[in-house]
Structure 1
Amino acid sequence: MADKQYQDFKSFYPFYLSQHQNLVCRRLHYIGSGLIVLLLLFTLFNQQWWQLLFIPVIGYGFAWVGHFVFEKNRPATFEYPIYSFLADWVMFAQMLKKIIFNKF
């Protein structure tokens, strides 16, 4: 983990990206985030609110497999939980933006 203590998200995000160099790790993050979005939509549709209990299992499960098995590093979530949560969604949004705008 980094020795630096990040005081703002702008300085943290490049570090976060450096912890996601492995393509499989990044793809597992994207899959987990995408499944969370689908689960949220599905839960809003069927109003089975207990399903929301699966959010941390899905979100962290895919990401942590990516880190421990493929990236071989410790997830930044352990030291920077809020910044990591935000960074994961920024990374996901950037991936979607790249997919959408590269197709048109």
Structure 2
Amino acid sequence: MTNTTKPTSDAPKPTFDSYEEFWPYYVAMHSRAATRWVHLTGTLTGLAITAYGLARGRKRYALALPLIGYGTAWPAHWFIERNNPATFGHPWWSLRGDRQMISMMLAGRDRELGEIAAKWLAENR
């Protein structure tokens, strides 16, 4: 990572040289369990509606994934975390981070995510 500036709405976003450097930052932007669970719920709901629509031959239902997924996740950042979504500065790595975070949550590893977030925030405040 080339910049370890504290992530606030008025501070510059940190820059990263790889996804591996970005990952702990991404998790830190989801430091509260409520934010992670809103992400999980929105993503799984969007996936379910998309799968249902595609199975029924209604391609427009594919819009449910980004609309419901991001439509629930972004407000969680503003109202729960009080930060801006990492998607705004790092869209592709954030998408990969969403997948990795949700996979860990589904595997029962939410506590580990909280530990990663706490460590990154302690080192970068």
- Under TM normalisation by the shorter chain, which class is it? 0.7 to 0.9
Percent of paired sites with the same residue: 29
- 1:71 is aligned, of 50, 74, 81, to 81
Q: Which of residues 93, 97, 111 is equivalent to 1:83?
A: 93
Q: Deviations over 1:15-64 (max 9, x none)?
A: 00011111211111010111122123212321100111222211111111
Give unpaired runs (5+ residues) of structure 2.
1-6, 110-125
Alignment of 1:1-104 (within 5 A): 1=7, 3-98=13-108
Supply the AA of the counterpart residue of 2:46: I
The 8 Å contact of residues 33 and 89 in structure 1, kept in 2 or not, is answered as no
TM-score between both structures, scaled by the size of structure 1: 0.86
Q: Which amino acid aligns with 1:10?
A: E
CA distance in 2: counterparts of 1:43 and 1:97, whole angstroms: 27
8 Å contact kept, 2:13–2:89 = no
Query: For the aligned residues, what is the CA RMSD?
Result: 1.5
Say which is worse superposed, 39-48 or 12-21, in terms of deviation.
Answer: 39-48
The answer (yes or no) to whether the contact 2:86–2:94 under 8 Å persists in 1 is yes
Moved over 4 A (4+): none
Letter in 1 for 2:81: E
The number of residues matched between the two structures is 99
Q: Is the CA contact (8 Å cut-off) linking 2:35 and 2:73 kept in structure 1?
A: yes
